[in-house]
Structure formats: structure tokens, C-alpha cells
Amino acid sequence: MKNIFKYALLALVLISTTNVISQNTQENDTIISVNLDEVVVSTPFKESLKNNVLKVNKLNFKTLNNTKSINFSSSLLEVPGVSLITTGPGISKPVIRGLSSNRVIVFNQYMKHENQQWGGDHGMDISGFGVESVELIKGPMSVLYGSDAIGGVLYVNPDSYSNEDMEVEIGSFYNSNYSGFTNNLGIKGNLNNLSYLIQGSMVDNKDFETPKEKVESTYYENKDFKLGLGYESKKFISDFRFNYSKTKVGIPHGEEDHDEHGDEDHDDEDHDDEDHEGEEHEEEESYQDLTNSILTWKNTFLFDNKSEFEIILGRSFNNRKEFGNHGDHEEHGDEDHDDEDEDHDEDHDEDHDEDEGEAHVDFDLNTTSLDMKYLFPKNEKTEFVIGSNLMFQENKNIGEEELIPDAEKNDFGIFGLTHIHTDSWDIMIGLRADFRTIKKTDFDKNYSSLTSSLGFKRNLGDNGIMRINFSNGYRAPNLSELFAEGVHHATGQYEIGDKNLTEEKSFQTDFSIETYALNSTFEMGIFYNKLSDYIYLNPTGNKIEGLPVYNYVQDDASLFGLELSRTRETSIEWLSYKTSLAYVSGEKKNREYLPLIPPITLKHSFDFDFDNSSFQISALAKGKKQNLGLFETETNSYFVMDISGSHDLNLLDNNINLSWTVNNLFDREYYDHLSRLKNIGIHEMGRNISIGLNYKF
């Protein structure tokens, strides 16, 4: 507890001392940060950030330094309370207020992003190119999005169309640490009422380096293609989107035998060498081969009475192949994979042959969704929306091993939401009913839940907002939690599911306050999230096939946290700063700490903005992590600095942007607590210099 107050005091000192610089701010200074009048699309009433009853954080990718925005996941760290679980630079999963995986929903191109997110080593695999902005809702939002939205929602807004006849954007970026090249090409335009958008990108990153060594098999390769077609008239708006992505990402040697798992990420440090008979194959390449395609069609009908009807049809396909040595457990027949023991280039400087071995895991996930909502005519006092969501999903195994079984999952949900305006308060009330069916051989079970939300917003004069929100959410158990029965090679554990697991439920109380003026903003958020029947892996103390046995069990848990941020322009015209602090703590009912909880985090940055150039100096400090979940290891505190900048040039009346970033400026050696590579002794990336050139015409 002492550390919490220490970091909070440090944040207040930074805020107060930098106030000295800005105390003489002039009245004509302009507001900074995100424009509070920007419309929110992740909630149904099309309110601005300022007028929304729910607190929504919006990250505009078009205003980010180009060398930062190319890494979609890392860009999310701009928001206090958001962290990442990583398996090297190529695999990352969002953590919102201490919850992740199947407890956080990601919406991409108007539909739920389904890519086997139950796995701890299954990243989002979303390209930052072709993204307009990301909206983040922290806390339960099942009333709008159904099952799994108990930790929060990431809503990825695709790139907007252009009003010009044609716009072309070409970019190329280089990263020194892993000799990585990224190239992108975007074309968009408008022909009368018809708009079009084409976006393509390629990423080829080699193995990354810590301050002391290169980490083998941490490469990342991606090809991404996006297509958009839009039509707009006075009564009808149509938006067709397609996204195809192909990714190959290396897994470091040993990670598949020792790393953590899913939502719990237990690290059993008591494994003896003899428990992992496959170590003689450690030189064999381990990697993931991923294919994603998303097809959505969004149609909005505008009626004369100012009401709207929106329907979104979505279809996604995800194929996951996992290669590498896992060949010592007879129940999976891995002994047939001896032909995969060929030597390979340890530097991975050449293209990797995707056909050099048979995948030990290969499964398809097909998802079809239909979302509908009707927005009633708005009057001065009330707004009302009703809607429904349907999803049909099939998981099919192709490979010899089955991490999860062949199964079908069907969802149906209906909801209603109203926004009431009074002279003093804005009130939002929501109610939703959800039904989920999971079917497999000899198993057919229904899950259901009734969720609700109640929110209050009050303007504090002309310069502040206070929000209080109460919301609950639910999550049906996933296929792994229900049906696991055998060795999970990505964890070095023998895992046993429980078909009798019930729905996981949460109830969050969230209080936030923000003040804003012509030159500054201040935000504070406090939350308490109560989880009932929280699902986690629990060690039994037994061993099977030399591996520790874990059972999926349930218990109650709770999370508490605090977030502070301050942004201010100073009396020096070109200087502004931002400070943020985030703290979260989680415990189970038995007083054991929850795993994968980020340490207290303090960020501070100075921005220097000139006519055609901008620079930023940023510092990140994370506290020592001592409140550990079962089998987690202690992580020391660390401090790193980054610098970045950009410069705009004009060529033939067209814009050229030159951007650069230096991450880990002083080449510090450190571990991050949420890194899955920490437990096998792999530090975070050393100094990395990124440079990029972006040309628009």
C-alpha cells in the first residue's frame, strides 16, 4: 500500500510542478487532447465524448506519430488502465483494468473479432493500417455486446472514406532492433455517391534483440489487405468492408514448454528438466501460421421521422496452425512428427517455408453474425434504442491434436437502452437478455443471463463532468474451460476442464470526474468490479505424464483500481505535457491475488509542437510487482524513456511526413510483469530506432 501512495504522490508532484510552467496561460490557448465534440460510435446514441453518459476513451490513429501507429497493440497503451500481455513483439493481448482474453471484446470492422482469443499466446492480429480510431469502454458492457464483455470493449473504427476524387498514401518504415521493414499503400476516393477504399500492407520483422542478445524465433511477418465500398444518399447509407490477413510469428525456444496460460498464466517453477522430455528438440522451429478474413455489410436506413434502422451482416474465418516440437506425449500421436527435426537458419533472415512440417494444431473457426438496432425518434427529453445480436460459430479441428473439440456455439441477445435528459442530470438505463448454446458430441447445454446498466452524468458548470455508472456483465465458459482433457503444450501443463462450470458474472461501480478548460484537462476514475464464479486454473498437486495437473474451477473475486491523467498546454506556445497514473489490484475470495495484474504505472510526456514539426519526450515507470498470483514470479520496478518526432514537408502541393521514434532510449534491461517470456529469462526489447516516410497525394 505504501507504494501506491508513493506513486500517487509522485504523480501529484509532477502535475503541480509543471503547473508552474503553465500558470500564465493565456485565454486564447486552444484545448488539447481528443476533441470532446467527437462522436462516439461504440454506443448507440451517437453522442459526443463530452455528452456520453458512459466514459469512453478515444484514440485517433490519424494524429499519432506514424512510427507509433504502425504497431496497433502498442498504440493502445496511450490510454491509462490499458496494458498488454505479450509473447514477444509479435503477439499481444489487451488487458483492461486487470481483465483480458475472453473477458475483453474486440470489435473490428463492425463485428466481434473472433480468433480463438481464449489462448494466452493468441494475439489480436490486427493491422494498424486502415484504422481511423479506437474507442475503449472500461468495465462490463454486456448490455450492449453480450457475453464476454465483463472487462471492457475495444471498438476499432475502420478508415473513413474520402470526399475527394482520389487520394493516395504510400508509406515505408524501418525498425533497427529487429531489422524490420513495413510498407503500406492506400487508395481511396469518391465517385458521386459511391466511395471506395483499398489498403494493403506488408510487415517483415526479424528476431528482436534485448540489450544483451538476439532472441531466436521471435520474427513476425504479416500481409494485410482491406477493401471498402460505400454508398450514401439522404435515406440510405451502405458500407461494405473486407479484410484479409496472413501472419506468421515465431515462438522462442522453450516458451512452449514453460510459459503461462490463458487468463491465469500460471508459471510452475518446480518443473524439473525430466518433465520436459522434448528438450532435445529445442532447436526445432516453433511458430504460428494464422489466416483471418472478415466480411461485413452495414446498412443504415434513415426515415422521415428521424428514426434509424441499422443492420450489420458479418462473416469471419480464422485458421490457426501451430508448428514446432511437441512430440513426446503419446496421447496426441506427436511421435509422427519426427520429420520436423530439420535444422533451420537460426537467424531467420530468409523466408520460412510454411510446408516444412505438419502442424500439430490446425483448426478452423467460422463465425456468422447479424446485428440489428432501431433508434427511435429523438425528443428533447428522451432517446431510446432497441436491438438484437445473433452469432453462429463452428470450431473444427483439422490437425491430429485437439486443444479444444469440434463444437458449435450459438448466441442470441436482445437489448433496450434509453437516455433521459433532465435539467441537472443525464441518465442512461439499459436491459439485456442473452442466450448461448454450446453443442458437441454428447454435450448440449444452454447458458443465459439478464444484464443491466444504470448511468448518471452531471455537468459541473461549464468546465467539468461527473459520471457514476453501475453495470453488470456475464461470460459463458469457453470451450477450453469446459472440455480440456490432456497436455497443453503451450503451458507445459496437463489441463482438465469441467463441463459443469456456470456463467461468470460481474458487477462494476465506476465513478469518474473530468475538468476541462481552454488549455487543460484533468480526469480521475475509480472503479470496483465484483466477479462471481470467476473461472481459473487451479493446481491439483498431481502429475500425469510427468506434467503438473490443473483443473478449471470457480471462485468469487474482485478488482479495485484508480486512474488519473492530466493534460495541459503551457504559457510557452509550443510546449504541453501529459501525466497519467494507473493502479489496479485483484483478489480471489480466499485472499489470493489474481494473476496478470499490471503493476502501478506512471507515465509522463512533454510535447513540443511547431509549425511543421513536433517532438515528444516520454517516460514510463512501473512499480515492483509483489502481490502475485499463484506461481507468478516477482518483477522489479523499471524506468524507460522514449523520444519521437515528425516533420511535414510540401512537395508539389502534396504532403510528405518524416517520422522517427527511439524506444528504450538508454537500452535498459528489464522484465515486464505481463510478458510471457519473463519466466524463461527473456528481457524486453532493447533500444529500437524507427524511421518512417509517408507520402500523400
Q: How confident is the model at residue 209 (pLDDT cuts 50, 70, 90)?
A: very high
| Averaged pLDDT for residues 434-442 | 95
Beta strand residue intervals within 87-162, DSSP E: 92-96, 104-108, 111-112, 131-138, 152-158
Q: How confident is the model at residue 693 (pLDDT cuts 50, 70, 90)?
A: very high
- Other beta carbons within 10 Å of 232: 17
Number of structural domains (the chain) is 1
At residue 492, φ and ψ (nearest 5 deg) are 65, 35
| Averaged pLDDT for residues 200-214 | 96
Question: What integer pLDDT is reported at residue 548 of this predicted model?
Answer: 87
Q: What is the mean pLDDT of the chain?
A: 85
Question: What integer pLDDT is reported at residue 46 of this predicted model?
Answer: 85
Domain with residue 289: its CATH number is: 2.40.170.20
Q: Are strands 493-496 and 547-569 parallel, antiparallel or unpaired?
A: parallel
Q: Is the pLDDT of residue 488 over 80?
A: no
Q: Is the pLDDT of residue 126 over 90?
A: yes
Question: Which residues, in sequence order, are CB contacts of 483 under 8 Å at separation 6+?
Answer: 404, 405, 407, 440, 443, 497, 499
Question: What integer pLDDT is reported at residue 672 of this predicted model?
Answer: 96
At residue 339, φ and ψ (nearest 5 deg) are -70, -5
| Averaged pLDDT for residues 10-16 | 46
CA 327, 329, 335, 337 torsion-angle sign = negative
| Averaged pLDDT for residues 17-41 | 50
In residues, how long is the chain? 697
Are 404 and 484 spatial neighbours (Cβ–Cβ below 8 Å)?
yes
| Averaged pLDDT for residues 122-130 | 90
Q: How confident is the model at residue 603 (pLDDT cuts 50, 70, 90)?
A: very high
Q: How confident is the model over 536-556, as pLDDT tens digits?
A: 888 888 898 888 898 999 999
User: Which residues span the domain enclosing 97?
Assistant: 2-696
Question: What integer pLDDT is reported at residue 689 of this predicted model?
Answer: 97
Q: Is the pLDDT of residue 224 over 70?
A: yes
